[in-house]
Structure 1
């Protein structure tokens, strides 16, 4: 049966001028995942990623760990993350008092993002795209991935929000579950789907086999 392994990008550069690049740890997380799969004899017939820098770099790191040519990766912009900065900006304009201070703790940032995502999903605000447009492009890319699997194994690199929307659509879960799922997804975590005649089914979610051990648990991150 065709299989699709969807990976969230490695740790990005939270708090820097360019969030959309992997930190040194993000690169290492990606290489470790590739090495783990290589040691287990995993091979992929197709490798696909979004076209954000953190997606490209994560795919490159995984390929390095696997000993594969980076040029095998196909890019699909439908796999890109929603513009969380625009969503947060829109919510901040709606409710200025809820916005975190510039030097706030990371937890305050995520609290605000959660509020903003709930408002976005309920139609109270719009970001760079509407919630319905986000739903539609993820539904479309799931169809592309399922059709392209063709009995093989496909590796996909994307982002937390996009992956959360994939899981919500495959499970038929309510819209608010996207926010809950998004906040849980670890960097370079793997969600595993099977593609059958009736569509995709979820086999496992948010798994980090390359990090879940005594030596590496300290390197599990969420941003």
Structure 2
């Protein structure tokens, strides 16, 4: 058997001009991630990341911890297939039509850029509309297209992962949720239920043979408080 660790990026910069950057807390989470694996003397055979800055920065934080301890760690392989759903495009393209059906979302839609709870409520409604009803919107990635992208990324890592080896993919919450649902044979309508609770810098473990794969653990994050002694180290966005 081999393992693939799906690592969600650290906290991004919500409310700033550029969301796609780790916050100070996000960098701290990334360093704790590296310390966690280093203490376990964990050997990585391959490291993957999407092209998003927050994903690569989380991976680099782990790499820096390993290299500072003079422990070998692979170079990072960048693959856009590990990128998050384009939530911004989903909201921009689908929210107007959704508000026509659900006027009760209007106040949250107006507050979403400054209020995390409103942002989460709107994101949930738009995401469910996108993944369950699958409206046709030219130029917007569909759920079948996203699903195929994630499955292809996973199969590439499985193909390269030898028996007893460990690979980590630094990605985003939506990808972690989607692949967890796919591996467990869950319907598309269940994906968001897995998406919402995924903690920043959490670890989801998949184990596989050449042809079969299963979920071993989901959303592991206890190491963050164990190493930091700080409950405020936990974040969702």
1:181-202 C-alpha deviation (Å, 9 max, x unpaired): 1111000000001011442111
1:74-128 C-alpha deviation (Å, 9 max, x unpaired): 0111000010011111222103342421465211110111110111012135472
Q: C-alpha displacement at 1:157, in angstroms?
A: 0.2
* Runs of at least 5 residues in structure 2 that lack an aligned partner in the other structure: none
Aligned to 1:35: 35
1:38-80 C-alpha deviation (Å, 9 max, x unpaired): 0111110111111111111010001112226787000111000
CA contact 1:48–1:76 (8 Å) conserved in 2: yes
Give the match's secondary structure for 2:167: strand
Q: RMSD of aligned C-alpha atoms? A: 1.8
1:9-59 C-alpha deviation (Å, 9 max, x unpaired): 000000111000000110110011101110111110111111111111010
Give the match's secondary structure for 1:95: helix
What TM-score, normalized by structure 1, do the two folds share?
0.94
CA contact 1:146–1:199 (8 Å) conserved in 2: no
- Aligned-partner Cα distance in 1 for 2:136–2:177: 20
Larger Rg: 2
Give the match's secondary structure for 1:129: coil
When residues 125 and 216 of structure 1 are mapped into structure 2, their CA distance, relative to the original with a 3 A threshold, is: farther
CA contact 2:21–2:54 (8 Å) conserved in 1: yes
- Aligned-partner Cα distance in 1 for 2:223–2:33: 5
In the alignment, structure 1 residue 207 sits paired with structure 2 residue 220: yes
Aligned to 1:101: 110
- Aligned-partner Cα distance in 2 for 1:195–1:16: 39
* Runs of at least 5 residues in structure 1 that lack an aligned partner in the other structure: none
1:135-178 C-alpha deviation (Å, 9 max, x unpaired): 11011111111111112110110001111111011000010111
Aligned to 1:143: 155
- Aligned-partner Cα distance in 1 for 2:232–2:199: 12
CA contact 2:206–2:213 (8 Å) conserved in 1: yes
CA contact 1:63–1:69 (8 Å) conserved in 2: no
In the alignment, structure 1 residue 22 sits paired with structure 2 residue 33: no
Question: Which residue of 192, 203, 215 maps to 1:190?
Answer: 203
CA contact 2:66–2:73 (8 Å) conserved in 1: no
CA contact 2:158–2:210 (8 Å) conserved in 1: no
Aligned to 1:218: 232
Q: How many residues in Structure 1 have an aligned counterpart in Structure 2?
A: 223
Give the match's secondary structure for 2:5: strand
Give the match's secondary structure for 1:43: coil
Q: C-alpha displacement at 1:215, in angstroms?
A: 1.2
Aligned to 2:90: 87
